[in-house]
Structure 1
Amino acid sequence: MTNLFCWMNFNSFSSLSWLNPLLATTNESETSNSTLVLAGVLLSLVIVYFASKLGGEICARINLPPVLGELVGGVLVGVSAFHLLVFPESGSTADNSLVITFLQNTAGLTPEATESVFAAQSEVISLLAELGVIILLFEIGLESDLKELIRVGPQAAIVAVVGVVAPFATGTAGLVYLFNVPVIPAIFAGAALTATSIGITAKVLAELGQLSSKEGQIIIGAAVLDDVLGIIVLAVVASLVKTGEVQIVNIIYLIISAGAFLIGAILIGRFLSPYFVSLVDEMKTRGQVLLTALIFAFTLSYIATAIQLEAILGAFAAGLVLAETEKRKELEEQVIPVADILVPVFFVCVGAKTDLSVLNPAVESNREGLIIATFLILVAILGKVITGFTLFGQNDLNKLSIGVGMIPRGEVGLVFAGVGSASGALSESTEAAIIMMVILTTFIAPPLLRLVFKEMETKPETIT
């Protein structure tokens, strides 16, 4: 019996021995593909960082936000121009990617493995972009002052609410009833109109010496509130995309859950923040402040995702909470290098995925997209300009300057476009129209703001 058992084992082993070369070949192939995926990711990051720095430096030298340069750089390296950085979700294949072509010519990538390597490389870059937007919202939360938000006066609150409701309602209704855009993409585009870039406006106000003026304080307070309201709107709209349906009950549930999550996270976080400081003070290893903060931020982001909200809402709440601690300044300094690594990936990817050819007026089918872009731009400007004029009985205020100060969308508008693009809710023409709206409003706001404040300064001289 023992001999028979040994003979059977030997024969079984012998019968399987033919698989050894195949298994070895498979393992070698997988290892080779993994190496090529890493090579593709590294090459893609070189392209991302080069495009972001080149575009950012050019914009910084002409007094425009560097983030616009990152976006335009992404457009140039993406599907609209050089095809250095393309993604499967935009309809591109491995044959369209110059990164894959370069790997074929220099790293021995075989034709059989091109599609799998292309898909894996694109997925890694997309994940890094998602991490980038989470870090961005965490950083925005850190830079926001919760006490100032609570103390914001009724004037700023009125401006903020009107600045969110007016463009959102007008944009959504116009897209649905005038252009027959499906409801969910229309809601997403309308939500993108609600944002205000506090960074761009604050920089211009500081240059004009108007940051501490009454108008300046109202603009900054309203812009901060706009960001909070806009992020809640974004979380709700992105959740609608996941559910795939628009129901009043569902919308009310999402709004309540988003508000409850944000308020609950802040209240619980403020209770736990002293323990956070004590824990960090007891640690002796490197990165104790940054890594502990990221654990908190990622935990809240996960909870937000688990209850069908967006991870960015959790990251923003974490930033607001930790901004209240004595570690705020140290944490801000340590988050900056992390943001410098990941955030450009997000903005460049948004630009790279944007196909501006859908706005080419020479192609008849594109003209509707151009009309939509024009409509969004008009709503984006007028929906904010009217906010200053809602402050009734304030004749001493330069109401036009308040409205103009709320116009730029900047990086906040790009967050909306990026999340919409990643969710698949937006058509190519609608996404490109939103990008055009963000670019134009960000470009025209600084000179307009300078102009309206200059008129305010010269008006008394004209009267006398």
Structure 2
Amino acid sequence: MEYPVLTAAVVLLAASVAVLTLFERLGLPVLLGYLIVGISLGPSGIAWVPHTEDLHFLAEFGVVLLLFTIGLDFSITHLWTLKKQVFGLGGAQVVVTAALVAGAAWASGLPPANAFVVGGALALSSTAVVTRELSRRGELKQRHGRLSVAVLIFQDLAVVPFLILMPALNGDTTGDGAWDLLLTLLTGTVVVALMLAAGRWLIRPLFSRIVEIESRELFTLSALLFSLAAAWLTANAGLSLALGAFLAGALLSETEYKERLTAEIRPFRDVLLGLFFVVIGMMLDLQALWGQIHWVLGAVLLLILLKTATTTLLGRLLGVPRGTAMRTGILLSQAGEFGLVLATLGATEGVISTETEQLIMATIIISLALTPMLVRWAEPVSKRICLGRT
């Protein structure tokens, strides 16, 4: 009997242990190590491990658990106070960036539908990478950290209309797109409201009873169940897995158990999140990348500059201090994992060509690899340019 997913996981974990040992000794970003493992062992490398839907879905649990622990640092009350940043800055950042990138793609000769997919895919930043790096550096609770998370929350919500509009770009003009979007948003609103009610009246008292039993295994299983069940609910409502996990963590953030929850979830989170970045590396086609490397590198540079400038200017217009706005712009200047989803779906629906898909994916993956350095440089660069104003 063969177990392809188990075999793939064992091979990838073994390679990750070897590569990360070397990277830790050399002081290199571990994210880059995970990506190299995926590229080397994946279809475009020595092809020891195929990129399958089952493996990709397993890896997404790392993002779910990451967002659950991030949510533990944000209370629902505090999230409400960030509504201006979430819907104001977040909404403006997605719309303006997507429009600018799509306009540039259209001006370069791509058809409007292709340009729309490129704009949507590259406008979104990486929730997984940014929050992971901020958490590693202890910056999540600082002003730029909270502002970055607020924008990322809206970006997760913005994935929904992009996904719904995709079939219409391929000539599906049945007129149901607006109704589907409205129905999804209404369903999502109801699910989120039910989650908030359940968190207040059911989940918190339930965790109190679980703690009284004094069973570590029961506590850990309950935490995993709650985070995954919340992700399942929002995913079935047409929203993202990550959003549900984040809300689940936020619901428990005001309890006295959040530190213990973080400690129990962290081992599962770190392993699965590493697998997620390995799978991202497996999606890159090296042959296609080499043929258009000059376009890819140019696109990465322009993307980082454009997103930094856009987020900085929009933040200033909304009253964010200059240094904080620029630091947030640098943090969010890469593309993200949901951009890979949009690019893949666009190619599947026939909206974009395989060449365009690979160009988008290569741009996203390289920008993801640069993110640890962007996070490290964000503070000194913003202080130098803004003369220390934060």
Verify same fold: TM over 0.5.
yes
Q: Which residue of 2 aligns with 1:407?
A: 330
- Is structure 2 residue 148 aligned with structure 1 residue 223? yes
Once the two structures are overlaid, the 10-residue window that deviates more, 343-352 or 134-143, is 134-143
Query: Residue 68 in 1 paired to residue 41 in 2?
Result: no
- Flag the 1:164–1:422 CA change in 2: closer, same or farther, 3 A: closer
Cα distance in 2 for residues equivalent to 1:458 and 1:421: 39
Distance 1:139 1:357, change over 3 A: farther
Secondary structure in 2 aligned to 1:347?
helix
Unaligned runs of 5+ in 1: 1-33, 88-121, 460-464
Equivalent residues in 2 for 1:26-45, closer than 5 Å: 34=1, 37-38=2-3, 40-45=4-9
Hey, what does 1:322 align to over in structure 2? 252
Shift of 1:334: 0.7
Q: Aligned residues, how many?
A: 372
Who is 1:383 aligned against?
307
Larger relative contact order (Cα-Cα within 8 Å, sequence gap ≥ 6):
2
Residues 157 and 240 in structure 2, CA contact (< 8 A), matched pair in contact too:
no
**Equivalent residue letter for 1:225:** A
Aligned residue runs from structure 1 range 257-268, under 5 A: 257-259=187-189, 261-268=191-198
The alignment-based identity, stated in percent, is 21
* Letter paired with 1:185: V
Of 35, 48, 68 in structure 2, the residue corresponding to residue 84 of structure 1 is 48
Q: 2:13 aligns with which of 36, 49, 56?
A: 49
Structure 1 residue identity aligned to 2:312: G
Question: For residues 242 and 260 of structure 1, what CA distance do their matches in structure 2 show?
Answer: 25
* Separation of aligned partners in 1, 2:91 and 2:53: 38
Letter in 2 for 1:434: I
Q: Which one-letter code corresponds to 2:338 in the other structure?
A: F
Alpha-carbon separation, structure 1, partners of 2:11 and 2:202: 42
Q: Which one has a bigger Cα radius of gyration?
A: 1
Counterpart amino acid of residue 204 in structure 2:
P
CA distance in 2, matches of 1:241, 1:194: 21
Q: Distance in 2 between matches of 1:280 and 1:408?
A: 39
Cα offset, 1:335, TM superposition: 0.5
Most deviating of 271-280 and 178-187: 178-187
> 1:388 & 1:168 partners in 2: Cα distance?
16
2:126–2:338 contact (8 Å) kept in structure 1: no
User: RMSD of the TM alignment (CA)?
Assistant: 3.9
Quick one: distance in 2 between partners of 1:229 and 1:66? Answer: 27
Q: Give the partner amino acid of 1:378.
A: L
CA distance in 2, matches of 1:83, 1:283: 48
What amino acid is the match of 1:374?
A: G
* Deviation of the 1:271 alpha carbon: 3.1
* Distance change >3 Å, CA 392–CA 252, structure 1 → 2: same
1:136 lines up with 2:66 in the alignment: yes
Matched, 1:237 2:162: yes
TM-score w.r.t. structure 2 length?
0.77
Q: Do 2:289 and 2:362's aligned partners in 1 also have CA atoms closer than 8 Å? A: yes
Cα separation, 1, equivalents of 2:343 and 2:68: 21
Tell me, in whole angstroms, the C-alpha distance in 1 between the residues paired with 2:219 and 2:343. 33
Give the CA deviation at 1:42. 4.2
3-state SS of paired residue (2:273): helix
Per the alignment, do residues 69 and 187 of structure 1 end up closer, same or farther by CA in structure 2, a change over 3 Å counting?
Answer: same
Change (3 A) 1:140 1:53: farther
Q: Contact 1:280–1:288 (CA<8 Å) still a contact in 2?
A: yes
Structure 1: how far apart are the matches of 2:59 and 2:152? Answer: 20
Q: 1:319 Cα deviation (Å)?
A: 2.0
Change (3 A) 1:123 1:371: closer
Q: What SS is found at the alignment partner of 2:72?
A: helix
Q: Answer whether contact 2:67 2:242 (CA < 8 A) is retained.
A: yes
Match in the other structure for 1:270: 200
> Matched residues in 1 for 2:387 and 2:265: separation?
40
Contact 2:126–2:368, Cα closer than 8 Å, also in 1? no
1:151 and 2:81 matched: yes
Local SS of the residue matching 1:182: helix
**Contact 1:204–1:450 (8 Å) recurs in 2:** no
Distance in 1 between residues matched to 2:211 and 2:289, nearest whole Å: 55
* Structure 2 equivalent of residue 345 of structure 1: 275
The one-character-per-residue Cα deviations of 1:283-335 (angstroms, maximum 9, x if unpaired) are: 45442222122222333333223333333332222222122322211111110
Distance 1:133 1:42 in 2: 20
Residue identity matched to 1:200: E
Q: CA deviation at 1:159?
A: 4.5
Letter in 1 for 2:114: P
- The offset of 1:135, in angstroms, is 2.6
CA deviation digits over 1:389-439, x for unaligned, max 9?
4425979x4x256324332359x9543245447756572332222212333
- Alpha-carbon shift at residue 353 of structure 1 (Å): 1.8
CA contact (8 A) 1:141 1:320 kept: yes
Q: TM-score, normalised by structure 1?
A: 0.66
**Alignment-mate amino acid for residue 325 of structure 2:** I
Q: Is contact 1:44-1:85 (8 Å) kept?
A: yes
Deviates more, 1:289-298 or 1:344-353: 289-298
Unaligned runs of 5+ in 2: none
CA contact (8 A) 1:78 1:85 kept: yes
Q: What is the alpha-carbon distance in structure 2 between the residues aligned to residue 450 and residue 204 of structure 1? A: 15
SS at match of 2:44: coil
- Tell me the amino acid that sits aligned with residue 231 of structure 2: S
How far the C-alpha of 1:164 sits from its partner, in A, is: 3.3
| CA displacement, residues 64-108 of structure 1 (integer Å, 9 cap, x when unaligned) | 643333123322222333322223xxxxxxxxxxxxxxxxxxxxx
Counterpart AA for 1:44:
A
Q: 1:337 to 1:270 in 2, by over 3 A?
A: same
1:72 touches 1:351 (CA, 8 Å); kept in 2?
Answer: yes
> Is the 8 Å Cα contact of residues 289 and 359 (structure 2) preserved in structure 1?
yes
Distance 1:455 1:293, change over 3 A: same
Distance 2:224 2:388 in 1: 49
Alpha carbons 2:43, 2:50 under 8 Å: kept: yes
